[in-house]
Structure 1
């Protein structure tokens, strides 16, 4: 009971740190919110059931502390230079601020820590790291746009997120590289408007939560576990693993909608070459999404005599089905609502 109360307290502090950063009117206030967020997430990462949690929390702390120190130095440097009116030096300071925030969010080429930290976490903590922990850094990144630098970050994030997941068998590392790929799309949405990347982030968070909820309930951590999962009901596997294709942005599923909006915005900004690279390398992510749900889509295969029918009528099973149904039919429902309005 005491342990759960401490977790609830740290979780409330985690949320408070993010809200302080978002609502802050100064860089020092934003830095303070990021530090509160960091120090409240470290205890949540520690788990007695996971041997690698200590290593993951140490890597996360060192990386985030390095990024925070660079951010604080850059902000002080920025205020000192603002009195000298040195345009080039102010640009360098802005570049340092953007780099430290991208390091905090795990975007390429500052992504070196993200997959290894994800590998040492539980699914619930991985979900927090992939979704909530990106809100504050990305919100601050949208305040200091440097176009040519961001073009490089977008292309590298999409490339690293796609190619990095090809030789992985751990699902947590696959989701980490997938998150890096989606970060490239979110930053591309920032080039047009703030609402666009927020819309993409909401859809990405919903789909990630759906998939993590599925993996967490069935204790799936590696690809080879898929081939022994739900051997008695292929159509149920097919229905549950469709959200993976939705996360990859395959039409007509819900995940295609935010990618569609960003594709239109990049065409309007005449960034067709960057868009071409993003679409091509995102197709590679669809390959390892298909590899994850490969056994689910092979409907004609040998099945074991035992099954998990007792689980089919549990609350967690129907929750998975409900989230998958929204992911599959979401784009159709949105188009119907738009047509009615």
Structure 2
């Protein structure tokens, strides 16, 4: 990685800190703008036309959301004492932040842009780029509007991934579905949101690293690639953990959120989240089916080789997902 990109990563990191630690909405907006302008050079690669297109699309959508957010901040300062106007501005501001993080129903740009990114940049877009908008959303939100958004995220994230063959797009819709869980956690407690976000980022990082190592972007590549069975097992464990299937580690934060939501009498919302997670598990298993079932080696065209040290790191990270049953048992004793 060259020094220019390292410089932009440094700015990306500090722009998020500026945004979440600012004591005014205008300061938050400046942090978001610096974040946008530092991420575009990271994703832009002159050798690949898709990344150039993705960076241009990302700039336009984020700029529209930023203009809307700035407009809401100015109007809020002008009509601070008007309660009815305040409620309208709140929904508009929430919508701008939802668009910035790629949440449904403002997710139209997310799958298209991620298709032109590398796995590392996809990981940043699915995790780090959601921190600032999520924390700013937790400061000031309309409760009923947020519940509606949670339901939309859950349904669109689950159904949108059903007809996809691109693994990056599948991970995008998975990210949209996981946003519904993050927002539910945010409504309960910021600490719970941080815990869920950390667990989600950890699982996504393993999968993105694995797909990057074997250079895989589409489901049908699993049919052609001859992959070590331990890598397949690692893929299985981490996908099922990301889907929230017990007894894997990914089930733990979802279990905590379900308990809190049931105590708050949000039965319908809990039912929607659980049902949509089952659809999510279905298309995770569809990815794994090609890898496990079509195991006749004469059909495999390409032999995938991974360095031993990377292979050991992957197995070590996957081991944490298996510890979910023990951790969950002790957590609720």
Q: Normalising by structure 1, what TM-score?
A: 0.93
Shift of 1:47: 1.7
2:285 counterpart (281, 290, 300): 290
Give the 3 Å change call, closer, same or farther, for CA 124–309 of structure 1 in structure 2. Answer: closer
Residue number in structure 2 paired with 1:202: 198
Give the 3 Å change call, closer, same or farther, for CA 53–335 of structure 1 in structure 2. Answer: same
1:227 aligned onto 2:220:
no
SS state at 1:37 partner: helix
Residue number in structure 2 paired with 1:152: 148
1:27 aligned onto 2:25:
yes
Q: Which runs of 5+ in 2 are unaligned?
A: none
Are the aligned partners of 1:103 and 1:110 in contact in 2 as well (CA < 8 Å)? yes
SS state at 1:70 partner: helix
Distance 1:336 1:158 in 2: 27
Matches within 5 A, 1:94-173: 94-173=90-169
Residue number in structure 2 paired with 1:301: 295
1:280 counterpart (251, 275, 283): 275
2:177 counterpart (159, 178, 181): 181
Shift of 1:339: 8.1
2:327 counterpart (299, 324, 334): 334
Distance 2:63 2:208 in 1: 27
Q: Normalising by structure 2, what TM-score?
A: 0.95
Are the aligned partners of 1:186 and 1:201 in contact in 2 as well (CA < 8 Å)? yes
Q: Which runs of 5+ in 1 are unaligned?
A: none
Shift of 1:278: 1.1
1:57 aligned onto 2:44:
no
Are the aligned partners of 2:54 and 2:117 in contact in 1 as well (CA < 8 Å)? yes
Shift of 1:240: 3.3
1:316 counterpart (310, 316, 320): 310
Residue number in structure 2 paired with 1:37: 35
Matches within 5 A, 1:210-221: 210-221=206-217
Are the aligned partners of 1:50 and 1:122 in contact in 2 as well (CA < 8 Å)? no
* Residues 73-82 or 302-311, more deviating: 302-311
Shift of 1:168: 0.5
Distance 1:50 1:306 in 2: 26
Shift of 1:335: 3.9
Distance 1:144 1:90 in 2: 11
1:71 counterpart (69, 72, 89): 69
Superposition CA RMSD, Å? 1.9
Residue number in structure 2 paired with 1:261: 256
Distance 1:338 1:290 in 2: 28
Give the 3 Å change call, closer, same or farther, for CA 293–198 of structure 1 in structure 2. Answer: same
Give the 3 Å change call, closer, same or farther, for CA 223–33 of structure 1 in structure 2. Answer: same
Shift of 1:314: 1.9
